[in-house]
Structure formats: C-alpha cells, structure tokens
C-alpha cells in the first residue's frame, strides 16, 4: 500500500490537471477522434520482459475503465491498457466490465431509470440488475463511474463518464510512447442476443471494424503490430475463431475458474486446458489468459505445487498472461509476506509467465525497472545509485 501511495504522489500535478479537463467537458467527448499524434518518434513498446497489462486501467487507484484510470496506467508505465468491451442498446461499443451497471456506476441514484431493472440469463445464471444493453449511449453517458471495492479510494466516485471503445483507443494512440490496447470481446453470447446491428452484423464484426478503423492490424511482432500493438482477448472460443478470418491481430484465449464452463461451447476447464485443446486453439491464438490461482492452486491462502498448465501452454508455443495481480494484503497469498514485489518475482522468475494483468501497473513497473531496467538513460539517477550500492553490499554478504 505504501508503495502505491508514493507512486500516486509522483504524478500528481499533471494528473490533477487531467482530472479538471475531464470533469469540465463532460457534455461532449474529450478526445479528438481519430488521434492526431504520429507514432514515428515515440519510444517503442518494450518486448524484452513480460508485459505489464494494466487491468481495467490503474483501477487500484481510480474507478475501473475510466479515462483517468487508463491515462494513469500509461503514466505509470503500463505496456498495454486492458479493457472489457460491451454494447449499448443502440449498438455502440463501450468500456465496462460487468454486464450490469450496478457495481461500478451511480445508476441507483438515477430515478429516471428505475424501471429498467431486468433479469436475464447470463451464462446459465439468472442475473438481475441494470444491463448496458437496455440503455442508449446517450443514457449511459449521463451516468458516472465509481470505485468497485469499498476498501479502495472513493474520492473519484461520481466524476467520470463511461467511455466508448473508440475513446479508449484514442487514449492509447495519444500516449507519449507506444502503448498497446488489450480489449476483450466480453459476453458475446449475451450481446448478440440483446443488441441488433444493421445488415445482420454481429457484435464481433463491429468489434473488429472498430479496430480496423483506427489502423490496428498485423500479426504478433509484425511492423504494423509494433506500431500499434493490440491483443484481442475472449473467454468465448467461437468468437476468437469467428474473427480469425477478419483480422490477423494476435488473440488470447481467456480461461475462467475450474467450475465455469465456456459461455459459448459449454466446455469444462479440464477440457480446455488439455494438450489436445491447446493444440487445436494454437492455430487461432498466441496465448492463454488464465486465473493465476488455477495455475498454482491455493489452500489456506498458501500456494501449492504448480499445475503443468504453463509448461503445456509453452510447449505449444502459447504465451501465458495470468490475471489478476493486486498489491493489497487481502489479495496477496501468505507466501508473499505482504510484498507485491515478491509475488511478481515468483510469477516472472519461477513460473515464467509472459504477461501479467495487474490492478497496480505502477507497482509492476517499479518492480521491473528495479530488476530488469530497459535502459540506463530512462532511469532516474537515484535508483541507479541505489542499485550500485545494493550490488556492492551483496558482494560482502556472500563472504
């Protein structure tokens, strides 16, 4: 926690300026679309160390999926900003994790929408709430975001709007260095059930068209991809296979908890983590995104022996990007002694993952800059000096 607070204070001046801008101009989109900044002279994406994937932006500090959460993550050193894409009633794509607005917006305070509460079957579970698919974009824009967890900073509640997929893309394109996007095709079964697009198009079609509109294309590590990096993720294998003919952007197959079957193909966890399945899906995706506790099971808050899932995935040349790393004590297993750096060290150096979805992009960035700095030029001098002292002391320790 201490670490996080320190990080937050570093960027506080430009950040407050951004907050003011976002707050005062809420009636119209803040970002000019499309981006006007050229990528030519930007610092490129780092590709030498596991990717820092800012889960819903810097949502440890700011309301998830808000513009400031994404801008903060960029400021803190994220390689990719991650987002969940859902649809509005009138077919616009927006950034929102839950299919309902209840947990992360002020919908409860909007009496004019009180009659919009519905119960829908979401992946076999009757779910009641205010669904994004029952609101137009204009109505969604009248809501304000809030922090999901009560133990996180509440001071930004009620300040920021829901943003569209296009606004999220613009934030990445406007970053002062190359920052990738990592959008999820979220709940495609539900989206296609409730929202109709002209010409019989599917939610996945609109999703890919949006990426193409802003120039996202190219296979993993191609020149086009490095210019505007993007990973497309989904828990629904049929969506990933469906778009494989529409875009060669790299895709990742997300893997849910052991008890939850896939939403589209109703396949079990053991089925989709088998060698046979990895051999099938590797033709469509460059990696998998599993929950970390399913890679290394946890009992009584202590890690057990790692499963062979990472080894099996790597044997199929699939990257592994587990979720979700959270720096707070209540999420850190006891092996890590309340220290997120120890957790990052374990997953990067012992398990060998290729990317990490973190709620605290700043803490992962600090860990990586300390242990595997990209270049001395980009570092501040005090940390170079500290590292030198540390290495001098460690020489004496050995004797």
State which residue, 63 or 188, has the beta carbon closest to ligand NAG: 188
What residues line the site for ligand NAG (CB under 6 A)? 126, 241-242, 244-245, 261, 266
For 78, the token pair is: 């994220």
Crossing angle of helices 361-371 and 2-10, in 10° steps, is: 90
Task: List the beta bridge partners of residue 106.
Answer: none
In the complex, what is the shortest distance from the CB of residue 122 to ligand NAG, in angstroms, rounded to a whole number?
Answer: 11
CA angle 259, 330, 58 (to 5 degrees): 90
Question: Least distance to ligand NAG from the beta carbon of 265, Å?
Answer: 9
Shortest Cβ 233–ligand NAG spacing (Å): 18
Least Å distance between CB 316 and ligand NAG?
20
Nearer to ligand NAG, 270 or 375 (CB): 270
**How many angstroms separate the CA atoms of 156 and 61, rounded?**
9
Question: Which one, 60 or 129, has the nearer CB to ligand NAG?
Answer: 129
List of E strands, 91-215: 93-95, 118-122, 125-129, 180-185
Name which of 295, 232, 238 is nearest 266 in CA terms: 238
Nearer to ligand NAG, 44 or 124 (CB): 124
**Residue 254 to residue 318: CA distance in whole angstroms:** 12
Residue closer to ligand NAG, measured from CB, 11 or 261? 261
CB of 97: closest distance to ligand NAG in angstroms? Answer: 23
Q: Is 226 helix (H, G, I), strand (E, B) or coil?
A: helix
CB of 232 to ligand NAG, least distance (A): 14
Instruction: Report the nearest approach of ligand NAG to the CB of residue 127 (Å).
Output: 9
Query: Are the C-beta atoms of residues 164 and 67 closer than 8 Å to each other?
Result: no
Q: For ligand NAG, give the closer residue by CB, 130 or 269.
A: 269
- Tokens 């896939």 locate to 262
Looking up tokens 């700043």, which residue turns up? 362
From the list 220, 347, 235, the residue with the least C-alpha distance to 286 is 220
Residue whose CB is less far from ligand NAG, 245 or 377: 245
């Amino acid at each position: 926690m201490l670490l996080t607070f320190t990080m937050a204070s570093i960027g506080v001046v430009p950040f407050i300026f951004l907050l003011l801008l976002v707050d005062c101009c809420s009636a119209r989109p803040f970002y000019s679309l499309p981006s006007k900044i050229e990528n030519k002279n930007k610092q490129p994406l780092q590709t030498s160390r596991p990717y820092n994937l800012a889960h819903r932006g810097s949502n440890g500090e700011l309301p998830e999926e808000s513009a400031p959460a994404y801008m903060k993550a960029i400021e803190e050193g994220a390689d990719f900003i991650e987002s969940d894409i859902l649809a509005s009633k009138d077919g616009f794509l927006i950034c929102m994790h839950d299919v309902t607005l209840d947990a992360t917006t002020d919908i409860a305070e909007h009496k004019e929408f009180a009659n919009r509460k519905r119960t829908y079957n979401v992946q076999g579970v009757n779910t009641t709430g205010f669904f994004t698919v029952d609101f137009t974009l204009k109505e969604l824009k009248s809501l304000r975001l809030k922090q999901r967890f009560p133990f996180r900073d509440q001071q930004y509640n009620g300040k920021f709007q829901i943003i569209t997929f296009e606004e999220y893309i613009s934030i990445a394109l406007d970053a002062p260095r190359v920052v990738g996007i990592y959008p999820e095709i979220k709940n495609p079964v539900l989206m296609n059930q409730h929202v109709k697009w002209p010409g019989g198009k599917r939610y996945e079609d609109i999703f890919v068209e949006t990426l193409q509109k802003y120039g996202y294309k190219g296979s993993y590590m191609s020149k086009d991809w490095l210019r505007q990096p993007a990973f497309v993720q989904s828990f629904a294998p049929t969506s990933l296979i469906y778009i494989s003919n529409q875009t060669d952007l790299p895709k990742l197959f997300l893997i849910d908890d052991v008890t939850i079957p896939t939403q589209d193909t109703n396949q079990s966890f053991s089925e989709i983590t088998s060698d046979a399945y990895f051999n099938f899906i590797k033709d469509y995706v460059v990696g998998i995104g599993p929950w970390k506790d399913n890679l290394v099971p946890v009992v009584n808050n202590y890690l057990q022996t790692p499963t062979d899932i990472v080894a099996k995935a790597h044997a199929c040349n699939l990257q592994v990007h587990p979720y979700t790393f959270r720096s707070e004590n209540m999420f850190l297993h006891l092996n890590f002694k309340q220290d997120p750096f120890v957790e990052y060290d374990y997953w990067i150096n012992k398990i060998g993952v290729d990317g990490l979805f973190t709620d605290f992009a700043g803490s992962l960035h600090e860990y990586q800059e300390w242990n595997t700095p990209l270049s001395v030029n980009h570092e501040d001098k005090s940390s170079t000096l500290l590292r030198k002292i540390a290495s001098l002391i460690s020489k004496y320790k050995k004797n």
